[in-house]
Structures are given as C-alpha cells and as structure tokens.
Amino acid sequence: MEKILEVRSLCKTYIVNKHQNNVLKNVDFSINKGEMVAVMGPSGSGKSTLLYTASGMDNATSGDVIFNGKKIAEMSGKELAELRLNDMGFIFQQMYMLKNLTVLDNIILPAVQSKKNTKSRKEKMEHGQELMRRLGIIEAAGNDINEVSGGQLQRACICRSMINDPDIIFADEPTGALNRNASDEVMEELSKLNSDGTAVMLVTHDARVAARCERVIFIMDGNIKGEYSLGKYSTGAKMRDRERTINNWLMEMGW
C-alpha cells in the first residue's frame, strides 16, 4: 500500500536543567493511506511527543519525517504551516476554540485561512454545516462554545479537522476528557471518516478506543517495542474481542 507518513530513525531530545532527556530514540514506523493507527504506552513513554514530531508541530532532533514523499525538515516555516492547514487535521484532548466565535465559525476558520481552499465563503459555511449535520450537532451551529456539551464540542473539533479535506488526522487523546458514551460517539465518527479514506494517527491509553483501529503501536521509554495488527474495523465488529486482544497483547508487552 502507498505510504502517507514515514518516520525514520527519529530522535527527540530535551535539555532540562542541563540534563539531557532522550524522549524518542531512533523511532521507525509508517502509516499507509487510509489506515487508522493507535499509539499506546505508559505515561511519559513519548506517545504525544511522537505525534507532535511526526505531524511537524515539533522539530525532531535527528531523523526524518516524510509526508506524502516530502521531508518535513526541508520545508520552510510557511510551507510547513500550509501543509498542516491544508493536508492535516488535528484533534486534541483540550478542545482549543475561540470564545468570541460561534461553533460553526470555529469550524470553518481553517477554511477561511486556507489559500488552497478556493470555495466561496458561502460554500465554506455550507460545508461546515454539512459536517455538523453528519456528526449530529447542526443544532449547535450558532451557539457559543460554552453553550454546548463536551461531546458536542469534541465532535465540532472533528468537523474543524475535516473542513479542508485533509489526507490524515492526528488526534492526541481525543476522548480523554469525555465520558464513555461521548467517547464511543466520537470514535464512531472517526471510524466513519477513516472508512471514507482519511488516515488517522491517534494517541490513546484506552484499549476500547484502540480497538477501533487497524493497527496498534506500543511505545515505552522512547522506543517502539512492538506493533499489533487488528485488521480493519467495521460496523458490527466484536468490540469486546478486539479490546480483549489488545489488553492481552499490552500485558505481554510489559504494560
């Protein structure tokens, strides 16, 4: 299959109080187009650092990150910003939205900022409304962000991540602040987006979330210790069996 993301010999080092902290150590992995991959591991293992570095939000100390055949490190700041805006989508545990904008205005903001997105303002609004309708939150379009639930707001973040039709979505603990029902709803929507061809790389500590992914990467102490292929998730899949399989494998990995 065609690769959308390749990470080669990736290292990330921080200097804290004159002490060197090697957070990532010669990490290698790749993600295929249309693949959904979970990154799991203990707290402090380097999961989020790996996601931020692989997406170009943070600079690598050494090694290469190749997105759609292009090395991120060789891009200018402007080129990288445009890449993240147009070809990548981002979902975080903390739902960063502008308080002075409505939910819909927050969703379409990346489209308004994008030079690559040549739709008219009206078409961008209609696309945002279409995404909200698909995710079942259209009734909140005109609301302020403090007038909706956490589950609605996280689904709005998914809409925002999709507004420029990205090739891949990076999600850092996208369900970490949600209850179980809201978490299931968010993951169901991410699964639908993935089934439509959007690749997803997500960081999670929850085996229930990872059970919807095609492949799980386990990282510990900055190294990838193993990978497990679950196969493509489909509606009606035996989630308990997939979750049990992941939990058993994580125990074998030493977590």
Cα separation, 179 vs 21, whole angstroms? 34
In this prediction, residue 49 carries a pLDDT of 95
**How much is the pTM?**
0.92
User: What does the pLDDT profile of the chain (255 residues) look like in tens digits?
Assistant: 799 999 999 999 988 787 888 899 999 999 999 999 999 999 989 999 999 999 999 999 999 999 999 999 999 999 999 999 999 999 987 778 999 999 999 999 999 999 999 999 999 999 999 999 988 899 999 999 999 988 889 889 999 999 999 999 999 998 887 888 888 888 888 998 899 999 999 999 999 999 999 999 999 999 999 999 999 987 666 888 999 999 999 999 988
Q: Which of 236, 248, 182 is nearest to 209 (CA)?
A: 182
Q: 3-class SS at 137?
A: coil
Instruction: Give residue 236's pLDDT.
Output: 66
User: Which residue type does 137 have?
Assistant: I
C-beta neighbour count of 140 within 10 angstroms: 20
Distant-in-sequence, close-in-space partners of 168: CB < 8 Å, separation ≥ 6: 4, 5, 31, 87, 88, 89, 198, 199, 200, 201
pLDDT of residue 122: 95
Predicted local confidence at residue 208, as pLDDT: 92
Q: What pLDDT is attached to residue 238?
A: 85
- The helix (run of H) or strand (run of E) holding residue 215 is strand 215-220
State the Cα–Cα distance between residues 42 and 38, nearest whole angstrom.
13
DSSP codes, 13-81: EEEETTEEEEEEEEEEEEEETT-EEEEE-STTSSHHHHHHHHTTSS--SEEEEEETTEEGGGS-HHHHH
DSSP three-state, residue 97 = coil
**Location of structure tokens 């707290």:** 43
In single-letter form, the type of residue at position 187 comes to M
Q: Round to the nearest angstrom and report the end-to-end CA distance of the chain.
A: 31
Cα 119 to Cα 226: distance, rounded to the nearest angstrom: 43
Q: What residue ranges do the domains of the chain occupy?
A: 3-253
Residue 217: other Cβ atoms inside 10 A: 23
CA dist 44 and 56 (Å) reads 20
The CATH code that applies to domain 3-253 is 3.40.50.300
- Angstrom CA distances, 13 to 18, 26, 71, stand at 12, 11, 20
Q: In the structure encoding, which two tokens stand for residue 167, read together?
A: 């090739």
Which residues, at least 6 apart from 130, have a Cβ–Cβ distance to it below 8 Å? Answer: none
Q: What is the pLDDT of residue 93?
A: 76
